[in-house]
Chains A and B, each alone.
Chain A
Amino acid sequence: MKKLMLGNEAVARGLYEAGCSFVSSYPGTPSTEITEYAAKYKEIYAEWAPNEKVAMETAFGACLAGKRSFCGMKHVGVNVAADPLFTIAYTGVNAGLIIGVADDPGMHSSQNEQDSRHYAIASKIPMLEPSDSSESIEFVKQAFEISEKFDTPVFLKMCTRVAHSQSIVVESERVLPEQKEYVKDGAKYIMMPGNAKKRHPIVEERTKKLTEYAETASFNRIEEGSDNTVGIITSSTSYQYVKEVCGDKYSVLKLGMINPLPIEKIKNFAKSVAKVIVVEELDGIIESHCKNIGVNVSGKEIFGLIGEFSQNIVAEKLGEAVPTGEALDEVIPMRPPVMCAGCPHRGLFYTLKKNKLTVLGDIGCYTLGAVAPLNAIDTTICMGASVSSLHGFNKANEGATDNKTVAVIGDSTFMHSGVTGLINIAYNGSNSTVIILDNSITGMTGHQQNPTTGYNLKGDPCAKIDLEALCKSVGIKSVRVIDPYNLAQCNTVIKEELAKQEPSVIISRRPCALLKYVKHAGPIKTNTDKCVGCKMCMQIGCPAVSMENGKIKIDNTLCTGCGVCSQMCKFDVFESVKEAK
């Protein structure tokens, strides 16, 4: 039966049908739903690991045990997992192992636009790249076949438009391969120099064989066109844009495997057309390969290196007709994402701003503390960078910034890679103050459990990391908990901790306002007669608070009754908020 299926759900379906039994991932847009959907199959063991390195090593262990395994992450997650990646490329696998990676051209939800195809080339691991949901299912199966046939982990590369678009699939039954026996084999799995030196030539030989395989594999296919003045080499979502614009006009070499790339197939394709254009998002990976094998192509000088494509971009660059529409001659205010009404981060960030602190930020919903009117964050780099860079910043300033600089990091991000930075603060002794924003969930990626929440991916109760005890055990003596809905408490505790001559951790604790179990007090009531229009309550940047005819107005559909705005008011406009039961 035909079904409409999200690309990421289709990857999970492929895992199910291919007999994958083990999934370990770390959430990250646009990869998250693969693992969430995989967890819905009772036949698949699925878990959230604390970070991508742990996920990859865990999945490797599971494949070593003899079961087909998968780990999923976003493009920047591969940076975290790069250490095991380059060495499991040498050891190869026992049962099949797929590394799912989702790139984000256009940076819908990412801090950079890195092209993960470089990792496939650098680590010498094959990479398949589907262009829709149906291929996502099919390529998972092929990836496991390749993994086991060529004794290698295999990348499955998604991008935002493939991961987050629904297209039609046909489901089939699960075929479960027998669990492979684990056989002790030091020469294959113990990568100390003597053994690794013998594995490296095997890897190079494997790439040669995979290149031969790429010449005839069905996923690298030629679609003949009627006009041979131009031939197009493309893959992934770019293939869809090319077909949308050109239909069957030009011949297309559609590449399903992006590493290693075929040689003869490309040369022969080039001979069949007058000129070749490579259409690929981000870096010129296919283009460089073509040029290396002596095939003259155009690519990046036409299409550039930046952002995602669309059919109109491809049409314009290929000299085809471009549809146009008429815009309003009007300044349309931007609508950037904002912290939700009732977000526990708001009160904390207002306090940091009020105290004019330098705030080293991290990755999560709280990155929104950087936008107006809070403007409270100075840096956002990568997972965990807030804590480590605070240590460097304070050390380099030799005490001059200790009392006016903090790091802010979420609970999940702290588990991911913040705790190592905190260990460094304790070990190398900087007088730094780290604020853990504990909203009891991984927020931005859409509410995933993590080691601090007490629940696992399947929603079952499990061990819960005690953040206070953890921070104390690594050597931080001063650990305090505050409620970010209480502005006075936030202000007092932050000032006190910054004044101390020792490292400290403040845990700002309040569950995400969007969590289903969180009960809200309900919209706050106001007495607008008392409002003088001073706009103090608007400094917190709550989307539920606005001004109408010079008086405060609460949007009752948004307001949760957190009461942070009422603490800003000196004129008794707000009625007191009762704690929700």
Chain B
Amino acid sequence: MQTKNIMIVGVGGQGTLLASKLLGKLLLGKGYDVKVSEVHGMSQRGGSVVTYVRYGDKVYSPVIDKGEADVIVSFEMLEAARWVEYLKPDGVIITNTQQVNPMPVIIGAQEYPENLVEKIKNLGIKLNALDALSLAELAGSSKAVNIVLMGRLSKLFDFSEQEWINAIEQSVPEKFLELNKKAFRLGRDYEV
């Protein structure tokens, strides 16, 4: 099987690393060769962050390059727009519609672009946009945005719901398990 590429992008502190760890565990369990690449340090301080998850028969490079991503999971609207160029021509973007203003916008040096959902769709890209923050809050915590998005992502895979739940169980503390399972189902059942 040809290597598949999933990019997880967002803002430092949004929980992108947990999502990539969960995916890594799930894919390893399915018997694939897997590589997950993270960036630590400077970029975690509220900056733009990106994590790469790659799986297949044999994975070499730990990173994903322009035009290679099968799926981009974005935790924030502007970040989805930033990484569009990394998507394959037939790739899919799943994005949280939440808007987090970066410092150049906060201080008025730049504008946050308008109508990004439409603009991305106009490129002919398959875009799943959902308000993952509201769904996460509905599940019990704004921090569960990552699991809501994993729920939505799970619809693109043939894996059973139980396999995903097992991976969640291995990735989150037990006291937040029920909350995260709820968040996962809200994302999975969401109709775009």
Question: Distance in Å from the Cβ of B163 to the closest Cβ of chain A?
Answer: 16
Complex Cα gap A557–B144 (Å): 13
Using Cβ atoms and an 8 Å threshold, which residues of chain A touch B39?
A: 108, 160, 164
B175 on the interface (CB 8 Å rule)?
no
Q: Is the CB of B104 within 8 A of A340?
A: no
Complex Cα gap A312–B39 (Å): 19
**Mask for A318-348, Cβ within 8 A of B = 1, else 0?**
0000111111101111111111100000000
Q: Which residues of A contact B (CB under 8 A)?
A: 2-4, 6, 29-30, 32-33, 108-109, 132, 160-162, 164-168, 237, 240-241, 243-244, 310-312, 322-328, 330-340, 365, 368, 371-373, 444-446, 535, 538, 541, 543, 545-547, 557
Which residues of chain B from 13 to 69 have any CB-CB distance to chain A below 8 Å in the complex?
13, 24-25, 28, 33-48, 59-63, 65-69
Complex Cα gap A541–B103 (Å): 7
Q: Is the CB of A241 within 8 A of B81?
A: no
Q: Is the CB of A337 within 8 A of B12?
A: yes
B112 on the interface (CB 8 Å rule)?
yes
Q: Is the CB of B42 within 8 A of A332?
A: no
B162 on the interface (CB 8 Å rule)?
no
Complex Cα gap A445–B28 (Å): 29
Complex Cα gap A160–B104 (Å): 28
Using Cβ atoms and an 8 Å threshold, which residues of chain B touch A547?
A: 108
Q: Is the CB of B103 within 8 A of A161?
A: no
Question: Distance in Å from the Cβ of A171 to the closest Cβ of chain B?
Answer: 14
Question: Distance in Å from the Cβ of A173 to the closest Cβ of chain B?
Answer: 22
B174 on the interface (CB 8 Å rule)?
no
Question: Distance in Å from the Cβ of A549 to the closest Cβ of chain B?
Answer: 14
B109 on the interface (CB 8 Å rule)?
yes
Jot down 10 A-B pairs with beta carbons below 8 A, ordered by A: A4-B36, A33-B40, A166-B37, A325-B87, A328-B116, A330-B81, A336-B103, A337-B46, A372-B104, A541-B107
Complex Cα gap A132–B61 (Å): 10
Interface of B is mostly: mixed
Chain B's closest residue to A367 (CB) is B42
Using Cβ atoms and an 8 Å threshold, which residues of chain B touch A538?
A: 106-107
Q: Which 4 A-B pairs have the closest CB atoms?
A: A109-B41, A323-B67, A29-B41, A165-B62
Complex Cα gap A240–B88 (Å): 21
Which residues of chain B from 85 to 102 have any CB-CB distance to chain A below 8 Å in the complex?
85-89, 101-102
Using Cβ atoms and an 8 Å threshold, which residues of chain A touch B42?
A: 29, 108-109, 337, 444
Question: Distance in Å from the Cβ of A516 to the closest Cβ of chain B?
Answer: 14
Chain A's closest residue to B114 (CB) is A330
Q: Is the CB of A328 within 8 A of B84?
A: yes
Q: Is the CB of A333 within 8 A of B111?
A: yes
Given contacts A241-B60, A324-B66, whether A108 and B43 have CB atoms under 8 Å apart is yes
B120 on the interface (CB 8 Å rule)?
yes
Question: Distance in Å from the Cβ of A221 to the closest Cβ of chain B?
Answer: 15
Interface of A is mostly: loop
Q: Is the CB of B46 within 8 A of A323?
A: no
Using Cβ atoms and an 8 Å threshold, which residues of chain A touch B81?
A: 328, 330, 332
Using Cβ atoms and an 8 Å threshold, which residues of chain A touch B12?
A: 337
Which residues of chain B from 108 to 122 have any CB-CB distance to chain A below 8 Å in the complex?
108-113, 116, 119-120
B82 on the interface (CB 8 Å rule)?
yes
Q: Is the CB of A243 within 8 A of B60?
A: yes
Using Cβ atoms and an 8 Å threshold, which residues of chain B touch A338?
A: 45-47, 103
Q: Is the CB of A337 within 8 A of B82?
A: no
Using Cβ atoms and an 8 Å threshold, which residues of chain A touch B112?
A: 333
Q: Is the CB of B35 within 8 A of A323?
A: no
Given contacts A237-B62, A241-B60, A311-B65, whether A333 and B37 have CB atoms under 8 Å apart is no
Complex Cα gap A546–B108 (Å): 9
Using Cβ atoms and an 8 Å threshold, which residues of chain B touch A545?
A: 106
Complex Cα gap A372–B110 (Å): 12
Complex Cα gap A322–B60 (Å): 16
Question: Distance in Å from the Cβ of B98 to the closest Cβ of chain A?
Answer: 10
Question: Distance in Å from the Cβ of A550 to the closest Cβ of chain B?
Answer: 12
Q: Is the CB of B120 within 8 A of A368?
A: no
Using Cβ atoms and an 8 Å threshold, which residues of chain B touch A326?
A: 84-85, 87, 89, 123
Question: Distance in Å from the Cβ of B173 to the closest Cβ of chain A?
Answer: 14
Q: Is the CB of A372 within 8 A of B107?
A: yes
Complex Cα gap A323–B69 (Å): 10
Complex Cα gap A330–B42 (Å): 26
Chain B's closest residue to A365 (CB) is B45
B105 on the interface (CB 8 Å rule)?
yes
Complex Cα gap A88–B41 (Å): 31
Using Cβ atoms and an 8 Å threshold, which residues of chain B touch A323?
A: 65-68, 88
Using Cβ atoms and an 8 Å threshold, which residues of chain A touch B110?
A: 331, 333-334
Q: Is the CB of B47 within 8 A of A337?
A: yes
Given contacts A164-B37, A325-B85, A368-B45, whether A334 and B104 have CB atoms under 8 Å apart is yes
Q: Is the CB of A372 within 8 A of B63?
A: no
B11 on the interface (CB 8 Å rule)?
yes
B142 on the interface (CB 8 Å rule)?
yes
